[in-house]
């Protein structure tokens, strides 16, 4: 078999694996959107079976042999070579897991997910604890299976962000948090802005229509995706021509939906911008979780909470909700949607205190995986740190440690990518501003086509060719530096709070 | 390994296979309900991959060996023994197919489906013809793979109805059709009933609400299923706790939706009534296509087009649509919804001429599979037979040979089960009337709980334990006899048309 024939064989195998994984993603999407309640148990079983099958397919010796042989070839294109290298990395990692472990993890994840749902209904962490505890044991086992240096949590962090470590995150947070605290204090000494206009009655139907309008304007391709409702907004992709996002609507709180729509659209635009011909191959996949999050946050915050953005969209919003917004000027609206105030719920947090939420989860996960804390200690740790760090009292578990779905998905090591995403977003957006001279005027005119094109060219089209850090350097000329994020915050809040 | 351990091993394997098949069913459901248009090609590929995988899993030598060994055991329960026998039958059949053939069939089915969609848009059979032709070649090949006696079409008929043959159907239709023609002539000599009240404006929203209300009354379990919209109504099951039906709504024609809702509910009640603990095993599956159809038709026609049913529901319907039905009495409504008139569209046909539609498709398929006709001959054959048999002129392909999705799904041999379903329904319903003395009064009071329980006990709970004919004998005391169907029609139309 010559090199190109061998490469084709490898591609066919990867397509089959991608088909199974994406089929499983359809089952998951359906589980969160349309699954009737009694169908949950069998659905969990179906998802476990597909997980096991995709794991088996990706462990086949024949694939390993083909990869080994391809690695020794010198007539692959740079793109082909990179695909093979990354696949071999993934393959080697995947081979560490046994089928039994994959199934056990999938089954336990399913149990934990349903226990989490039930515990939220009862507003009692104790309902969740036994299943979560078993899942944590499996994640500790996983860290051992994967292997690590220095800290077992590093093995799990690496799953979401290659090369990310406890050392690195400790340093990042210890650089960042004092500066955020200082900024927070300066803001606290100024008069608070008013956002009461966001808590009025906004009908579900009209919010839905408004959200769909906005998403369309942001160039979400509805021929290649859709939006539905779910309890927790998320985005998921089955291929670049079928990217789905969800939202939720609170009739008494406008702030819930709009920015979740923009956020998930940011994720979706990335997926819809991946190269088609690379379906199932690493270069047809997103770079990393943090870069994915940089796209959602860039659209949600750097664009979607900017004054220029609302210069264009606020009159439209006022047309959708004339009664609710007739008394509120653009200036007051802009200030209100950027109100800074320590609070209980991560997804509703402002752009500063958001990172305290992440930090608490990070510190907690580190301890759970190293074993210095266990599931039963979560509520006390959680509540104490919310009190110490943000001076907020957690009234119950639902508003505390039961608020996020991530652990019940087995996602330990995920949260830090949210903060990294904000930092990358600030650095990318600054670079875009420098390179697209007219960017801010365009945004003020509701024209984000050039910005999207810039993201497509510099980020989306690259797939996984670069690591996060390499990509950051290729796009911005330097590796990640939180100073961009801090400057962005200073600039924004100095004006809003007249600091 | 002792017998019960071996049986457990067999069960686990069957569960995995069922998981993959049911996952594939989710992909198909999604394809017909929510798939964004550009996602079609990759979805087709994903479905083909899962088809190939479930075929491979069901071809494993290890499973065959386990089945052989189990067949030789004498300490299996009757239920276990029947599961093993039926699985071995299915296994032996499945082994005849190569993976390459399974994939080719799935791929070609996908192509034919999309060509069918496009041909309907363009209202031109020519667009569909090349892909359908390739699919027919594969189905002819499939008949050879499966093997047959006397006629290649028998191999395909057997897929949908075990033991069904051309000889048997030729005889059934030649018994039935003259009697239907005679009845039709007697009806045609009487004044036609009026159904113009069905063609008014009925808002989508209100029709939807009405349909959901009706389904709920019929005891469809919404905790274990759901209804959505699709271009063509269908029912599909992922397990007895997740059974989904779809409907479509024509704002200018009330008759489209209500009876499709009842029909699909009939299918769904069967699936929701299968034994849970037998998931993935033959006895946890429906008996056959014709028995499945007997359930949908029993509810749609024997119950849902009866006067007693509407004695209870018509006042409710009048409440949903007061303007549209205020002038129409129950008597006129009942006559209108049972109007007999030869027409173009199978799914809108009355209970008599329906079987002419089936007969034409049957005769056509027989010729396509034996090779005396090919795809290009379909429109001419179709139009000629509609003219000769029903005296209707087919104005275009969309109202003619493009109306049904079945061929594009590769389902040749399926249509006859629709007629068999009506015949079984009449025989079952007659038996239920004899055994449940108060049945007709209960239906007139909107109480169908006992009828459902009777169907659960006598039919649903049996799974595939019996063949259609065995089941019919067990339930009614004799094998299928079309006389029940003919008597039902005579009784009904004598009164409606004062024959």
Q: Which residues, numbered 215 to 234 in chain B, qualify as contacts with chain A under a Cβ-Cβ cut-off of 8 Å?
A: 221-226, 228
* Sign of the dihedral defined by the CA atoms of residues B189, B190, B194, B198, in that order: negative
* Burial of B318 per CB tally in 10 Å (0-12, 13-18, 19+): middle
Residues of B in contact with A30 (CB under 8 A): 26, 30
C-alpha of A429 from chain center:
18
What's the mean pLDDT in A430-436? 98
Which of A17, A31, A32, A46 is best to mutate for the B interface (most B CBs within 10 A)? A46
Buried residues in B182-210 as b, exposed as e (16+ CB within 10 A): ebbeebeeeeebebebbeeebeeeebbeb
C-alpha of B119 from chain center:
24
* Burial of A186 per CB tally in 10 Å (0-12, 13-18, 19+): middle
B141 interfacial to chain A (CB closer than 8 Å): no
ipTM of this predicted complex? 0.94
What's the mean pLDDT in B244-263? 95
Contact A242 B35 (CB under 8 A): yes
Partners of B247 in the beta sheet? B229
Tokens for B366?
């027989």
Mean pLDDT of chain A: 97
B461 in Cβ contact with B329 (< 8 Å): no
pLDDT of amino acid A255: 87
A38 in Cβ contact with B242 (< 8 Å): yes
Tokens for A123?
């507003």
Work out the minimum CA distance from B231 to partner chain A, whole angstroms: 17
Which of A24, A42, A240 is best to mutate for the B interface (most B CBs within 10 A)? A42
Work out the minimum CA distance from B114 to partner chain A, whole angstroms: 16
Collapsed DSSP state (helix, strand, coil) of residue B36: coil
**A1 pLDDT higher than 90:** no
* pLDDT grade for A165, boundaries at 50, 70 and 90: very high
Cα–Cα distance between B41 and B239 in angstroms, integer? 27
pLDDT of amino acid B255: 86
Contact A36 B228 (CB under 8 A): no
Cα–Cα distance between B17 and A104 in angstroms, integer? 18
Cα–Cα distance between B317 and B302 in angstroms, integer? 19
pLDDT of amino acid B73: 96
A34 interfacial to chain B (CB closer than 8 Å): yes
B351 in Cβ contact with B301 (< 8 Å): yes
Cα–Cα distance between B461 and B272 in angstroms, integer? 10
Give pTM, 2 decimals. Answer: 0.95
**B256 pLDDT higher than 90:** no
Question: Annotated catalytic residue: which of A52, A131, A264, A285?
Answer: A264
Tokens 């990217």 correspond to what residue?
A: A243
DSSP state for residue A396 in the 8-state scheme: S
Residues of A in contact with B43 (CB under 8 A): 238, 242
**B231 pLDDT higher than 90:** no
Residues of A in contact with B22 (CB under 8 A): 42, 46
A467 interfacial to chain B (CB closer than 8 Å): no
B99 interfacial to chain A (CB closer than 8 Å): no
pLDDT, one tens digit per residue, over A289-316 is 999 999 999 999 999 999 999 999 999 9
pLDDT of amino acid A162: 94
Which residues, 6 or more positions from A130, have their beta carbon under 8 angstroms from its beta carbon?
A115, A375
Cα–Cα nearest to B46, from A241, A5, A106? A241
A255 in Cβ contact with A265 (< 8 Å): no
* Sign of the dihedral defined by the CA atoms of residues B5, B7, B13, B16, in that order: negative
Residues of B in contact with A239 (CB under 8 A): 39, 42
* pLDDT grade for A467, boundaries at 50, 70 and 90: very high
What's the mean pLDDT in B241-253? 96
Categorise residue B391: left if φ over 0, alpha if ψ from -120 to 50, beta otherwise. left
Cα–Cα distance between A443 and B448 in angstroms, integer? 61
* C-alpha neighbours within 13 Å on the C-beta side of residue B290: 28
Q: Which residues, numbered 267 to 286 in chain B, qualify as contacts with chain A under a Cβ-Cβ cut-off of 8 Å?
A: 279
Element counts in chain A: helices (H) and strands (E): 21, 3
Cα–Cα distance between B263 and A55 in angstroms, integer? 41
Contact A30 B30 (CB under 8 A): yes
pLDDT of amino acid B1: 86
pLDDT of amino acid A240: 96
pLDDT, one tens digit per residue, over B80-93 is 999 999 999 999 99
Query: Closest-CA residue in chain B for A46?
Result: B19
Cα–Cα distance between B59 and B40 in angstroms, integer? 29
**B109 pLDDT higher than 90:** yes
Mean pLDDT of chain B: 97
pLDDT, one tens digit per residue, over A359-384 is 999 999 999 999 999 999 999 999 99
B60 interfacial to chain A (CB closer than 8 Å): no
Q: In this prediction, what percent of chain B has a pLDDT beyond 70?
A: 100
B266 in Cβ contact with B246 (< 8 Å): no
Contact A279 B42 (CB under 8 A): yes
Query: Closest-CA residue in chain A for B280?
Result: A42
Which among A23, A24, A35 has CB closest to B242?
A35
Contact B34 A221 (CB under 8 A): no
Contact B34 A223 (CB under 8 A): no
Cα–Cα distance between B135 and B143 in angstroms, integer? 12
Query: What are the two backbone dihedrals, phi and then psi, of residue B242, each rounded to the nearest 5 degrees?
Result: -150, 85
Which among B19, B46, B221 has CB closest to A49?
B19
pLDDT, one tens digit per residue, over B178-207 is 999 999 999 999 999 999 999 999 999 999
* pLDDT grade for B276, boundaries at 50, 70 and 90: confident
Residues of A in contact with B49 (CB under 8 A): 15-16, 19-20, 23
Which of B20, B30, B32, B39 is best to mutate for the A interface (most A CBs within 10 A)? B39
Residues of B in contact with A41 (CB under 8 A): 241
Which of A21, A25, A26, A271 is best to mutate for the B interface (most B CBs within 10 A)? A26
A117 interfacial to chain B (CB closer than 8 Å): no
Q: DSSP string covering B397-445, please?
A: STTTTTS-SGGGGT-TT-HHHHHHHHHHHHHHHHHHHHHSTTHHHHHHT
Instruction: Delineate the domains of chain A, giving CATH numbers in brackets.
Output: 3-149 (1.20.58), 166-496 (1.10.1370.30)
B41 in Cβ contact with A241 (< 8 Å): yes
Work out the minimum CA distance from B242 to partner chain A, whole angstroms: 5
**A231 pLDDT higher than 90:** no
A113 in Cβ contact with A408 (< 8 Å): yes
Query: Closest-CA residue in chain B for A19?
Result: B46
Which residues, 6 or more positions from A23, have their beta carbon under 8 angstroms from its beta carbon?
A50, B23, B24, B27, B46, B49, B50
pLDDT of amino acid A450: 98
The beta strands (E) that lie in A141-223 are given as: none
pLDDT of amino acid B222: 98
Query: What are the two backbone dihedrals, phi and then psi, of residue A148, each rounded to the nearest 5 degrees?
Result: -165, 165
* pLDDT grade for A468, boundaries at 50, 70 and 90: very high
Which among B27, B239, B242 has CB closest to A23?
B27
Work out the minimum CA distance from B331 to partner chain A, whole angstroms: 39
A402 in Cβ contact with A128 (< 8 Å): yes
Cα–Cα distance between A35 and B211 in angstroms, integer? 20
Residues of B in contact with A235 (CB under 8 A): none
Work out the minimum CA distance from B311 to partner chain A, whole angstroms: 32
* Burial of B220 per CB tally in 10 Å (0-12, 13-18, 19+): buried
**A256 pLDDT higher than 90:** no
**How many Cβ pairs within 8 Å bridge chains A and B?**
108
A379 in Cβ contact with A395 (< 8 Å): no
Length of chain B: 499
Residues of B in contact with A52 (CB under 8 A): 16
Cα–Cα distance between B146 and B159 in angstroms, integer? 10
Work out the minimum CA distance from B223 to partner chain A, whole angstroms: 5
In Å, the largest CA–CA distance within chain A is: 73
**A393 pLDDT higher than 90:** yes
Work out the minimum CA distance from A36 to partner chain B, whole angstroms: 5
User: Cα dist. A420→A11, A291, A295, A313, A354 in Å?
Assistant: 32, 8, 11, 28, 12
Cα–Cα distance between A268 and A287 in angstroms, integer? 14
Residues of B acting as catalytic residues: 264
Contact B42 A34 (CB under 8 A): no
Work out the minimum CA distance from A225 to partner chain B, whole angstroms: 5
């Amino acid at each position: 078999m010559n090199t190109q024939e061998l490469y084709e064989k490898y591609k066919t195998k990867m397509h089959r694996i991608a088909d199974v994984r994406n089929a499983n993603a359809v089952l998951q999407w359906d589980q969160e959107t349309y699954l009737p309640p009694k169908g949950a148990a069998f659905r969990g079983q179906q998802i476990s079976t597909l997980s096991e099958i995709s794991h088996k397919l990706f462990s086949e010796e024949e694939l390993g042999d083909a990869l080994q042989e391809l690695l020794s070839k010198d007539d692959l294109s740079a793109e082909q070579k990179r695909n093979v290298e990354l696949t071999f990395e993934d393959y080697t990692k995947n081979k560490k897991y046994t089928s039994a472990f994959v199934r056990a993890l999938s089954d336990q994840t399913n149990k934990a997910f349903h226990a989490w749902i039930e515990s939220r209904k009862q507003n009692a962490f104790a309902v969740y604890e036994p299943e979560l505890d078993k899942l944590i044991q499996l994640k500790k086992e996983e860290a051992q299976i994967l292997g690590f240096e220095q800290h077992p949590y590093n093995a799990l962090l690496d799953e979401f962000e290659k090369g990310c470590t406890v050392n690195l995150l400790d340093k990042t947070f210890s650089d960042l948090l004092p500066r955020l605290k200082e900024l927070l204090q300066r803001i606290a000494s100024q008069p608070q802005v008013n956002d009461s206009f966001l808590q009025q009655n906004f009908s579900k139907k009209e919010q839905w229509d408004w959200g769909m309008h906005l998403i369309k304007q942001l160039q979400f391709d509805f021929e290649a995706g859709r939006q539905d409702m779910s309890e927790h907004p998320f985005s998921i992709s089955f291929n670049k021509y079928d990217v789905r996002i969800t939202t939720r609507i609170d009739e008494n709180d406008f702030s819930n939906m709009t920015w979740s729509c923009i956020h998930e659209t940011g994720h979706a635009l990335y997926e819809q911008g991946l190269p088609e011909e690379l379906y199932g191959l690493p270069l047809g996949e997103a770079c990393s979780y943090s870069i994915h999050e940089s796209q959602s946050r860039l659209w949600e915050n750097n664009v979607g909470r900017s004054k220029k953005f609302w210069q264009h969209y606020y009159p439209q919003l006022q047309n959708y909700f004339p009664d609710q917004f007739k008394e509120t000027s653009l200036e007051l609206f802009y200030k209100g949607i950027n109100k800074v105030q320590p609070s209980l719920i991560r997804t509703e947090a402002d752009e500063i205190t958001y990172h305290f939420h992440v930090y608490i989860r990070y510190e907690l996960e580190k301890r759970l995986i190293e074993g210095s804390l266990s599931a039963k200690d979560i509520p006390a740790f959680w509540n104490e740190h919310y009190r110490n760090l943000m001076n907020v009292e957690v009234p119950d578990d639902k508003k505390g440690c039961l608020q996020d779905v991530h652990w019940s998905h087995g996602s330990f090591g995920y949260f830090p990518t949210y903060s990294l995403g904000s930092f990358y977003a600030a650095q990318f957006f600054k670079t875009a501003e420098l390179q697209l001279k007219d960017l801010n005027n365009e945004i003020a005119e509701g024209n984000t086509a050039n910005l999207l094109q810039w993201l497509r060219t510099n980020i989306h089209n690259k797939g996984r060719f670069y690591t996060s850090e390499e990509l950051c350097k290729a796009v911005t000329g330097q590796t990640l530096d939180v100073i961009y994020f801090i400057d962005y915050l200073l600039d924004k809040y100095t004006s809003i709070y007249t600091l």
